[in-house]
Amino acid sequence: MKDFKINDLNISKCFLLLKDFFDNEENLANVAYPKSILFGGEEWFYYIFYSCLLDYSMRSKVYHQNLILTYELFPNIFHPKYVVDNYINNTEELLMILKENVHPRYPNVALKKWIELSLELSKYSNLKDKILSFESFNELTIFIRNIKGYGQKTGGLLLRLIYDSKVCGFIDDLGAIPLDRHDIEICYLNGIISKSKLSEKEISLLSTSLIECGKKLGLSPSIVDKYLWEVGNSFCNKKSCLNCPLNRTCNTKIY
């Protein structure tokens, strides 16, 4: 911790650049879902739980396009009880569906996660009712963190989607911003932190600083999370440094 420092001034500089760049962007860091699904309905909740589960190791927009097409062809695999009843003893068929339609980078890992999530969610007769039973965002956070398969970023994305849906009506705000190695790298390259490899405690401190600096500029934790998500997906992943809103502050520039 002695060599770890957080530069709040650089956080503010970056946030002002991002705020100016994304100010009129209505679909910032949105996650696509099938048009046939009612937003905020029970089916939507089931879909986003599966959707966020595998949102890693490949370009997010491509992944979600694949997943939507998969839903249109095989909607039943997004129903926990159907998966448990039909695929627990027939994993090869489910693996083939995921491989040929979702195209995850690690198919066997994806299969394991899909089945484990299905087993967990099948415990509840109605997932939306379960989510609505929580009286605070913190209760929802604990619930999702206790489900196997979600990492910090994928679990954080799920939390943000539920929070932003406003279906639950929580009065408390996002308590933390989920930071993965890409977010940490962005912070390091923009002089926000003094090193790129952080401990869990240091990640927590960085998350807190990002939230506090954001609030001073009128930015909610959800918006800050969306900024980081969009920069990573739209610019870093595409090595599009020239067009990145952080071009002036980032130490890595690829032209």
User: How many residues are there in the chain?
Assistant: 255
Q: Measured in whole angstroms, how far is the alpha carbon of residue 77 from the centre of its chain?
A: 21
In this predicted structure, what is the pLDDT of residue 103?
94
Token pair 């415990």 in the structure block, residue: 123
Task: Output the CA torsion 59→101→48→18 (10° steps).
Answer: 20
The candidate with the shortest Cα–Cα distance to 177, out of 217, 219, 143, 216, is 219
In this predicted structure, what is the pLDDT of residue 23?
82
In this predicted structure, what is the pLDDT of residue 207?
92
Q: What is the pTM of this model?
A: 0.81
**β-bridge partners, 193:** 6
Q: Which two tokens stand for residue 42?
A: 């029970």
Other beta carbons less than 10 A from residue 47's beta carbon: 21
The span from the first CA to the last CA of the chain, in angstroms, equals 35
**β-bridge partners, 6:** 193
> d(Cα 14, Cα 246) in Å, to the nearest integer?
7
In this predicted structure, what is the pLDDT of residue 237?
81
> d(Cα 230, Cα 30) in Å, to the nearest integer?
9
In this predicted structure, what is the pLDDT of residue 255?
46
> d(Cα 111, Cα 91) in Å, to the nearest integer?
8
In this predicted structure, what is the pLDDT of residue 78?
97
Q: Which two tokens stand for residue 43?
A: 């089916």
The candidate with the shortest Cα–Cα distance to 14, out of 254, 251, 249, is 249
pLDDT tens digits for the chain (255 residues)? 568 999 999 999 999 999 999 987 666 767 889 999 999 999 999 999 999 999 876 677 788 999 999 999 999 999 999 999 999 999 999 999 999 999 998 999 999 999 999 999 999 999 999 999 998 888 898 999 899 888 877 888 898 899 888 888 776 666 778 888 889 999 999 999 999 899 989 998 999 999 999 999 999 888 998 899 889 888 888 888 999 999 999 998 654
Token pair 């997906």 in the structure block, residue: 233
> How far is the CA of 20 from the CAs of 24, 172, 255, in angstroms?
9, 27, 23
Other beta carbons less than 10 A from residue 30's beta carbon: 14
In this predicted structure, what is the pLDDT of residue 172?
64
Phi, psi of 251 (to 5 degrees): -85, -5
